[in-house]
Every structure is written in structure tokens, then in C-alpha cells.
Structure 1
Amino acid sequence: MKNLSSLLFILLFCQVGLSQNGLSETGLWSQYFYSLPIGNKWKVAGDFQYRTYELSSDFQQFIARAAVAYTPAIGVVELHAGYGYFYGEPFGDMDGSTSEHRLHQDVWLDTNAGKTVSIRHRFRFEERFVENQDFRSRVRYTIFVNIHFYKDEQQSKFYLPFWNEVFINGETQLRNTTVNRFDRNWSFGGVGYRISQDLRAQAGYMREITSNTSKGQLVLSVFQSF
């Protein structure tokens, strides 16, 4: 547990030094995730998200996403395939907006890490169709770690969620521009509360790192299973 905590601390805070310019504004990221079973091995899973560049103003992005998920017999793997719509606006008073249609395929893998720690890995492959831009693809890897306060996860109301996600671009040569292979990194730490067996909420801080900037965001999340 000590080694795991040290690793999470490094992921969350030491990466700030990787970026060249820090943005002082702290944004707000509101998320709602849902899961609806449609059989023993199938479900519909998705999310709605709303982001602002500042805590109370300056709209950044809206996301609506849904996927069909399948769980094989082995039980520790989930396979997702879905679609997402993204609409965003630039920072500050700049004019313009961008819309994007995105396909994604996920592989989720559960890891047995003991009674007080749950770990999930997500490998995501994206096909991006951005308005007035070339086709893009991207690979994302996320590790989710929840640390519970009791030995029995079902009895743990409060927990500590951490996750780290890295984004890798599939293409670097685009129309009239070149982008880095490394796209960005997100690191999050916070506190979660299990309201019921099917409903939980999280709040925490995320640091977004790109090749030349870094920015902080307050993240509020609700997870609901029907």
C-alpha cells in the first residue's frame, strides 16, 4: 500500500513540471456516467459531460457519449464499442466553435489488488472526425485506482479515487500542421462516496498536461447503474 500511494503521488503532482506554461485559471468539469444492463452479459454505458475554462464561466466543451458493452464469461474483461458527440469553444473571448464525431472501442480489465484496493485498466482506441480537419486516430490508456476504508468493499461508503490517463496520437502529419505523438496526460485524485449500491459521487482535482501547457480542473462526477 505504501508503494502504491507513493506512485500515485508522483503521477498526480510531479508531472506539472513537464509542461512549459501553466494556466492559472481552474476549470470545472461536471460528469454523469450511466450503465443500463440489457442482459446477463450486455449493457449500455455512456456519459454526459460539461466543461468550463473557469469555475463558474467560459464554456469549454460538451460531450454526449454512448456505447454497447459486452462482458465475456471470464468476468474480468469488458469490451465496449460506441459513439460520442463533442462540441467545444475556444478559451476567452475568441470566436469560433468546433464539433466532432468520434467512434471508440474500449477494453476494460480488472486487477485483483486486495480487499481495500480496486484497480481497473482501460485501453481506448478512437477514430476522430473533427469539423474541417483531417481524420485523426488516438490511443488512450487509463489506470483507475480506488482505495477503500474498510476491508469489505461493500461496506465502504467513502473511498479515495485516483486515475491517470495518457493520450497518444495516431497521426502526426495533418492538413497544414504537425502534431506531437504525445497528445496529453490527465492525473486525478479526490474523494468518493457510495450513496447506494447503484449510485456514487466523486469530487477531486485533475491536472491536464500537454506538450506545452498545464491546467487544473475541479472534477465533479456522478456514477449511476440502473
Structure 2
Amino acid sequence: MKLSHVILFFILSCFYCQSQIVVSETGLWSQYIYKKAFNEKWAIAGDFQYRTYEVGNDFQQFIARAAISYQPENTAIDFQAGYGYFTGQPFGISDTSTTEHRLHQDLWFSSKVSNRFELKHRLRIEERFIENQDFRSRLRYTLFLNVPLNNKTIVDNTFYVALWNEIFINGQTDTGTGTVEYFDRNWAFAGLGYKLNSALKFQAGYMREVTPGISKGQVVLTVFHSL
């Protein structure tokens, strides 16, 4: 994949965001992402997330997710399959909660555009079992681009620019209580990361979330932990 194609992908995402109704509140998403390798092929990977509709206020969602990871020998491909538990509330003063159980299958792979650019892809398929709704599936594609600042590559004690964009496509439009569009949402993120060592990375930035009806900003704080 050429670097110009990557840049164009991010620019088009930003233009699409500008066409939505803008929600003034900025949310806060706190993420802990972990991976524990047992050998060169097998690992456990997952995350815990706590989200609010406003910074420090109005609970949105809690997520707990885990998966088995398998990476074939001498490849940059990583297959994952796992389960996630989700509980959340609607925007505003309502305390009504909704629970979701979700299965997912991931395909991770890397592309090389330059020695200074770290480019990764994730293709995810989800099977969603949402409380009081019909079964639905969803396809997600994420493009990640990291650019080191104080070193040629992202090694220990490296600051880096982090960019990613993720698009969500629904497999079905009937929820059992209404309908949704095939286009579900798009997330476009830009931030700054720091790799402390082989076990820990930290990342902070701003993400624009776009659905068919709204555009909303989120501050995203992430800890990456290799156990």
C-alpha cells in the first residue's frame, strides 16, 4: 500500500465527518489493552474499556473482552477469536442499561511503505447478541499508522504520532425493534504515543465518531501492556 493512499484514506474520513450533525459534548474513553504470549505462536489478547459521554461524567459503556491469538510461524499475520461483554446506557439522565454479548474474529496484518512508518490493518467480524434485539453481525476494518519522532523506528523510549481510522458496516438492518443503515459508524483518530519499553506503551489523542446521524468527539487514553 502506498503512503499516498493511506493519507487519502484519512483525509476522506475527515471530510465525511464534517457532513454530520455535531454533538457539542466531548466524551472520554479509557482503554487498557493487553496481550500475554505463551510462545511464538499462541497468546491471549483483550481489553477493558470505560467510556463516558462527557469528560468525567455520564456513563456510556463498560467493555471486557478476551481472545485467543494465533500467529503462524515466520509470518506477520495474527488470527484472533474471542468474546466480549458490553453494558451501557443512553446519553443523558436515563439509567436504563443494555447488555450485549459479542463474539469476534480478527485478522491482523502489516504493510511496509517505509522504514519510518509502522502500518497495520485489522479486519474484524462480529456476531452481536444485544438484549431485546435480534441477532446482528458487523464487519469492521481498521487502518493504523504510527510515525516515530525521536528515533528512526519505534523502539524503547520513542515518542510517535498515532493515526487510525475504523469503518463499521452492519450485516443486517433489522434489529427486531427498528431498523439501522448498513453504514454503522466511522472512527477517525489522531494522537501522540510513547513506547516506554517492550512491555508498555501509552497513547492519548482525539477521535471523531461519525454515525448516520451525528458527529461526536472523544478523548481516547490508552495503555498497551505486553504481559
Q: Are the aligned partners of 1:164 and 1:185 in contact in 2 as well (CA < 8 Å)?
A: yes
Q: Are the aligned partners of 2:10 and 2:188 in contact in 1 as well (CA < 8 Å)?
A: no
Paired position in structure 2 for 1:25: 25
Paired position in structure 2 for 1:223: 224
1:196 is displaced (CA, Å) by 1.2
Structure 1 residue identity aligned to 2:112:
N
Q: Are the aligned partners of 1:12 and 1:189 in contact in 2 as well (CA < 8 Å)?
A: no
Q: Are the aligned partners of 1:12 and 1:207 in contact in 2 as well (CA < 8 Å)?
A: no
1:99-122: CA deviations, max 9, x gaps? 000000000011112221011100
- CA RMSD after TM alignment: 1.7
Paired position in structure 2 for 1:96: 96
How many aligned positions are there?
225
Q: Are the aligned partners of 2:52 and 2:60 in contact in 1 as well (CA < 8 Å)?
A: yes
Instruction: Please give the TM-score of this superposition, normalised by the length of structure 1.
Output: 0.94
Q: Are the aligned partners of 1:8 and 1:162 in contact in 2 as well (CA < 8 Å)?
A: no
The 3-state SS of whatever aligns with 1:215 is: strand
Paired position in structure 2 for 1:58: 58
Unaligned runs of 5+ in 2: none
The answer to whether structure 1 residue 180 and structure 2 residue 181 are counterparts is yes
Structure 2 distance, partners of 1:36, 1:210, is 34
Structure 2 distance, partners of 1:200, 1:160, is 13
1:220 is displaced (CA, Å) by 0.2
The 3-state SS of whatever aligns with 2:54 is: coil
Unaligned runs of 5+ in 1: none
**Structure 1 residues 6 and 125, CA gap change in structure 2 (3 angstroms):** closer
Q: Moved runs in structure 1, 4+ residues, more than 4 A?
A: none
1:188-213: CA deviations, max 9, x gaps? 00000011121010000000000010
Q: Are the aligned partners of 2:157 and 2:196 in contact in 1 as well (CA < 8 Å)?
A: no
1:154 is displaced (CA, Å) by 2.1
